[in-house]
Amino acid sequence: MRRRVLIGNWKMHKTAGEASRYIRDFLPLTQNIASIDIILAPPFTALHVVAESIKDTAIGLAGQNMHWNSHGAFTGEVSPAMLCDNGCQSVIIGHSERRQTFHEDDNTINRKVKAAIAHHLTAIMCVGETREERDTGKTSDVLSRQLAAGLAGIGTIDAKQLIIAYEPIWAIGSGTPATPTQASKVHIKLREHLGTLFTTSTAESIQIIYGGSITAENIQSLLAMPHVDGGLVGGACLDPHNFGTIVSSATN
Ligand code: PGA
């Protein structure tokens, strides 16, 4: 049975002080929740303060990105070891904002996934189609390409360090989420494809989560779909009370 996971992606929001106040408000709302995994993905500059504030809890910590090299002359980049050193157990890779705004391609994403696994970080690899790709019937091809290329060279043994996030680009920040049926159809296809890359039982064990305009109102219907194993939440996680409500709705 796959455990469910909710990931709060803060994107480029919150100073260290704001992060610390967030955790102070968020912890009491989630302290009795054990049936779902919660992961927070603050910006790099708030990782340390969040790691300290959640160290006695079950909440996990993720980076939002990283370089694939362990060190070197890469101005502005952060290495996998630096994420581990700051308390991360996982890292978001290939978010569409990285793909689109920072021109990350499938090859870059594959290097990052491999580097994350080599550093014992869970790679939360994002895939997703644009509105135009969906409207022209290309969703399946686009997602298959992103999945196969992003996971090239990853062995079955390492697949336990993967979470796949289906994030349709048209749904991110738009207020228009995929319907549960739309998400479910894609998740089933992704799992079938994972079964060709790994074994069927491995594919069954990989969490496939949905992201894009998740709210406290729609989380339950999305999670009611058997192949939707959780959510990657952006805007709606920025307020600790709101994210707390999403977490408790997800467990009801
Ligand atoms: P959103 O973002 O919840 O604000 O749509 C989701 C994401 O980008 O991960």
Q: Per residue in 3-34, pLDDT tens? A: 999 999 999 999 999 999 999 999 999 998 99
**Residue 177 has what pLDDT?**
97
Place of tokens 């994210």: 243
Q: What number is the average pLDDT over the span 133-148?
A: 98
Q: Identify the residue whose C-alpha is closest to ligand 1 atom 7.
A: 234
Tell me if 29 sits within 8 A of 63, measured CB to CB: no
Ligand 1 atom nearest to 213, measured from its CA:
5
Is residue 167 annotated as part of the catalytic site, yes or no?
yes
CB 206 less than 6 A from any atom of ligand 1: no
CB 211 less than 6 A from any atom of ligand 1: yes
- The domain spanning residue 62 has which CATH number? 3.20.20.70
Is residue 95 annotated as part of the catalytic site, yes or no?
yes
Q: Identify the residue whose C-alpha is closest to ligand 1 atom 6.
A: 234
- pLDDT tens, 73-109? 999 999 999 999 999 999 999 999 999 999 999 999 9
Round to whole Å and give the CA distance between 230 and 18. 26
**Residue 198 has what pLDDT?**
96
Q: What number is the average pLDDT over the span 46-74?
A: 97
**3-class SS letters over 64-85:** CCCCCCCCCCCCCCCCHHHHHH
Domain of 48 in residue numbering reads as 4-250
Q: What number is the average pLDDT over the span 63-74?
A: 97
Distance 112 CA to ligand 1 centre (A): 21
pTM of the prediction? 0.98
From 67, 95, 119, 227, the catalytic residue: 95
pLDDT band at 1 (very low <50, low <70, confident <90, very high): confident
**Residue 48 has what pLDDT?**
98
**Residue 252 has what pLDDT?**
81
Round to whole Å and give the CA distance between 158 and 174. 34
Percent of the chain residues past pLDDT 90, beyond the cut: 98
Q: Ligand 1 pocket test: which of 233, 237, 242 has the largest number of ligand atoms within 8 Å of its C-beta?
A: 233
From 167, 187, 193, 227, the catalytic residue: 167
Distance 47 CA to ligand 1 centre (A): 19
Closest CA relative to residue 153, chosen from 121, 218, 107, 203: 107
Q: What number is the average pLDDT over the span 140-157?
A: 97
Distance 225 CA to ligand 1 centre (A): 19
pLDDT band at 110 (very low <50, low <70, confident <90, very high): very high
The number of folded domains in the chain is 1
Distance 127 CA to ligand 1 centre (A): 13
Distance 72 CA to ligand 1 centre (A): 31
Q: Identify the residue whose C-alpha is closest to ligand 1 atom 2.
A: 234
Q: Which residues are paired to 232 by β-bridges? A: 7, 211
Q: Identify the residue whose C-alpha is closest to ligand 1 atom 1.
A: 234
- pLDDT tens, 179-238? 999 999 999 999 999 999 999 999 999 999 999 999 999 999 999 999 999 999 999 999
Q: Identify the residue whose C-alpha is closest to ligand 1 atom 9.
A: 234
Residue 214 DSSP SS3: coil
Distance 199 CA to ligand 1 centre (A): 30
Torsional class of 212: left (φ above 0), alpha (ψ -120 to 50), beta (otherwise): left
